[in-house]
Every structure is written in C-alpha cells, then in structure tokens.
Amino acid sequence: MNMKILVFGSYDFIKKLPDQIHESATDNLVAITDFHQAVAQIQTASPDVIFVQASLNGSIELCGWLKEQTQLSCIHCILVEDRPHQLVQRSENGWEWDLDMTTAALHQGADAYIWQVQTEETATHHLMLGQLTVGLRKAQKYRDLLEKNHILSAIALADSLTDLNNRRALEWELPRQITKARNQNIPMSLLILDVDYFKRVNDQYGHLVGDRLLQLLCTRLRHNLRSQDTPFRYGGEEFVVLLAHTTGEEALIVGERLKRIVGEQPFGINSKLTIDITISLGVASLENDDDEQGMSLLHRADQCLLAAKKSGRNRVMGWHHLSPSPTLEAVS
C-alpha cells in the first residue's frame, strides 16, 4: 500500500525525519508551513499520516481542526515536539510532567506525541516509524471499511431480479440530478414506462416466465439507452429512466425509440417460447417550480403514463406547456 504523508513543518524539520519515512511517502515530502495552505492540501488530497512540527505557528490549531473533521478521522496526526523551552521543561520536571504534556497534546487533537530530542535521536526515530506503522494500519482498515460499505450500498441499491438500480436508488439519485441540472442550467427529463398487459403473461405462463421476460426487457433497454440515461426498476413491471441533458422534445424521441425497439422484435424466453410485448411511456421535463426531491416531476410523468395507457397503450405521452394550463401531447 502506498502511504500518503503530509508534513506541516519546515525544510529543516523534514530533513530530520527518518529515511524510511521519505521512502514510504508516495510523493516526495514537501514542507508546508502555512496553516491555511495545509488545510487546503488536506481537503484536496487527504493524506494517511500528518507529521506536525510543534514549534511552527498553527501546529496545535491544525491538530484541533483535524479532530473536528469527522470525515477526516482516518488521518493519523503525529505531533512532534521540538520547542526548545518545552524540551528544557521536560529534562527538568521528569516523566510525570512528560505524561501531562502527552495527555494535553492528545486532548488537543494529536493521535501521537513524540519528543524530538537530539540526544535521543535513535529512540525518536523508532517512535516515528512505529507511529507510521500505526497510521498505515489505520489507513488500510479505513480503505477496507469503505470498500465493504461500497459493496453493501451497491447491494442495497440494486434490484435483485434485473440488476438495475432500484427505487431506493432513484430516491437518492433524482434529487442529485435535479440539483446538478439547476446549478449548471441544463435541461433534464425523465420517463416512466410500463409493460402493457403484463398480468396476462404471468397468468398464462407463470411468474417465472414473467420474471425472465422482465430480465430480457431490461437487457434490451439498457443496450439501447444513451450514456447519460440512468434506468431504475420502479416496481413490478414499471421502470423510470432519468434523462440528463435532455429537453422535453428530445425525451419524446428517446421514448419513441424505446417503444419501437421493445415492440419490433419478440422476446425469446427459451427455445420453444417467444413472447411479443409492447410498452407505454410517460415523459416529463424539469420545471422551475418542481420540488427538490422530484416528486412533482415524477407525478407529471406518471400522469402521462396513465394517459398513454387509457388512450390505447403502446404509446408515448409527453407533458407540454403549450398554454397557461398544461396539455398532453401523444406520440404513437
């Protein structure tokens, strides 16, 4: 594992660090001596371990800032004491005072507190390398935890039958897409589609055939969507597709193409059974007064889907503001 090491200290301070620390760093160690620059660096590229020179202005402040950042709790902060007056106090007051200083440093945000004493250079280097190992283990455990959480999140947000994102994933992704569209002032649309007369398939052939048909349908849809389109299984035989960078007119074209590629070729369930199906689709585009969660946007698309089914199915219905009151536009 590569070790990302940041040093908040002078060039001379870096030179005194053990050679093994220089060898462990992913990149060459760079001396950062400004508090705000250090914070910016940490936020841009989070390190695994930070060595902090105690005599540098802002050193204790940096340790305290790190302690307050919950998302940066994996960073191992090592405060290296090199202040001359503190070194004198240590030699005069003994181990009890040393223990009090260590307790204070840990309370202020450091994960480790090491004395940089020239007469004890070998011991100091051993302590630094020991803490480097602790930081390495801490970083590895954090990476392992992130990977496990990522796997669990993927399982929780995936539909087990179709491998598409599920409704829970849609509830997380739709607000994010809406925020992005508004911040970047770009269009966004979505469509809801439903398999026409799907209950007849289950009643005639059984639910296993129905499940296989949904799997084949999702495979065909996924292979015919654009790179910016994100499909979700909304429930049963109903699906939602988020259409980023897409106007209402473009969304109707996408819907019409999906309707065509589903209806033009039967689905081969096995070597003896093929089934013809059609789909109905409702399309809506993001408007200024839509809520941030996307409920009103979903509702409009759902109303269009209902209208498409009532008007004969195998149709695409879009919502357009052609007048002060909304009207429905159908594509058959």
pLDDT at 139: 83
Among 317, 319, 221, residue whose Cα is nearest residue 263: 221
Please say if the pLDDT value at position 33 is more than 60. Answer: yes
Q: What is the DSSP letter of 112?
A: E
As a whole number of Å, the end-to-end CA separation of the chain is: 58
The tokens for 240 are 């939602």
Predicted confidence band at 321 (pLDDT cuts at 50, 70, 90)? very low
Number of residues assigned to the chain: 332
pLDDT at 300: 95
pLDDT at 249: 94
Torsion of CA 294, 296, 300, 305, to 10 degrees: 60
Question: 330 or 200: whose pLDDT is higher?
Answer: 200
Domains in the chain with CATH codes: 5-155 (3.40.50.2300), 167-331 (3.30.70.270)
Please say if the pLDDT value at position 9 is more than 70. Answer: yes
The average pLDDT across 302-321 equals 89
Beta-strand relationship, 238-244 and 229-235: antiparallel
pLDDT at 1: 54
Catalytic residues: 237
Using CA atoms, how far apart are residues 202 and 195, in angstroms rounded to an integer? 12
pLDDT at 326: 45
pLDDT at 325: 43
The average pLDDT across 54-72 equals 92
Using CA atoms, how far apart are residues 4 and 60, in angstroms rounded to an integer? 21
The tokens for 303 are 């109303």
Could you read off the pLDDT of 243-260 as tens digits, one per residue? 999 999 999 999 999 999
Q: In whole numbers, what is the pLDDT of the chain averaged over residues?
A: 89
Q: What is the DSSP letter of 70?
A: G
pLDDT at 328: 54
The average pLDDT across 325-329 equals 48
Is residue 279 a contact partner of residue 263, using CB atoms and an 8 Å limit? yes
Which backbone phi and psi does 263 adopt, to 5 degrees?
-85, -15
Could you read off the pLDDT of 100-143 as tens digits, one per residue? 999 999 999 999 999 998 778 898 899 999 998 898 888 888 88
pLDDT at 219: 95
> What is the DSSP track for 47-58?
-SEEEEETTSTT
Is residue 329 a contact partner of residue 308, using CB atoms and an 8 Å limit? no
The tokens for 38 are 């250090």
Rg value, the chain, Cα: 30
The tokens for 123 are 């011991």
Distances (CA, A) of 321 to 247, 248, 325: 13, 10, 7
pLDDT at 252: 95
